[in-house]
Structure 1
Amino acid sequence: MKILLVEDDADTRSYVSAGLQARGHSVDESGDGNDGLLRATQHDYDVIVLDRMLPARDGMSVLRNLRSCGTHAKVLMLTALGDVDARIEGMEAGADDYLGKPFALNELIARLNAISRRGAHTHTLTCLRIGDMELDLILQRVHRGERQIHLHPREWDLLKFLALHADEVVTRAMLLEHVWGYQSSPHTNLVDTHVCRLRGKIERDFLGPRMLRTIRGEGYMLSAKRD
């Protein structure tokens, strides 16, 4: 991906930029709102990582200007303002996702991967296939081979989100937010419990590679690829 990183804290900017480049992304950096807005309107970016509290021009002003001039780049906002009202304001202004500080680099990268693919699935696809497993998005049914797998509604939501991001690491925080609607990550084993149950249903008694993997220290990945 081609990414614009607009962040005034030099240490944070250097840390995030190095992490993104280490994963093969192209990164341009900016330290204030005016320069960030200028770069965003002069170049085509896949994703803009935008700090909310910026000198010269704050992140909300940058975001509103970008959307008013028709910039289609996905925008992930970073901010120390993690309350619900601040999040809603950012999303209503056109942000595609919102990540509070402090944050883990793996969480940031997982969210960037997610929003970069968002919009390419649900409006055009009626089914998803991962290996020999098929999800019918209309009837909300799951088959692996010739066998139907019966899921509870929450298990379906969990599997669908993982399938939409197949072969990508999905963090627990992302699942809590997008499957359960939580805006924070409480100390709970809710995700792990549901993943364990889902894993049993989609893997038990089936031949072939395991599909729902735990990525230690990061989250989960749904994949038909062999280890």
Structure 2
Amino acid sequence: MARIEAHVTWLCVVVAMVVCLGGGVEAGRGLLQASCPSPVLPDVNLPAYLGVWYEIGSTALIKTRTESGLACITARYSLIQSGPNAQSIRVRNEGYNTTSGEYSTIIGIASVTGRSLRVSFPPGPDADYRIIYLKGDAEDRYDTAVVYSCDAGQSGGFQSLYILSRKPTLDSDESVAGIIEYARTQGITLEATNQFVYTDQDGITCGRNDD
């Protein structure tokens, strides 16, 4: 744990779910993103971040290109204790395909590199992600996280934003509009063709008993 904790200030664990569930980073190359902002990144306590997250929603190009037809999207993060990938993070992403009626699952590895997290779902390329917002108790378990990725170095550029929660819905003291406004204060502007889109987390669709 010590090697991981040395870097948790800028830990960016979450986002792997998007690279996984439908085509990888290259599928998102479509935004005319000329430059990338540098939002303030909070400190991250790794044990408080591990576990299961529900995707509240993501940006439109992710929905159409890497999450098409998927509902009930979740990501599970766990520390690898031993073996060649010891002290890395295992990322298990899952989504329900509403057309086929089956769940799609993929497992990747995330490693802390300096002040970023490298997420890999072989055979796809590694990708960097940043946690720009956290709510909850760092000594126990975070409740909400916002993950952002931006790459202006490729043709067309690419940016994505995901809102994650420990529950299928946000707490009553939070709203998507408020979170998007916070992102705006950090210099993140979502283009008209890439607005935020909710992920279907309906309890009946997802086979849960919470509705």
**Could you tell me the TM-score, scaled by structure 1's length?**
0.25
- The structure, 1 or 2, with the larger RCO (C-alpha pairs under 8 Å, 6+ apart) is 2
Greater fraction strand: 2
**Could you tell me the TM-score, scaled by structure 2's length?**
0.26
User: Which is greater in Rg?
Assistant: 1
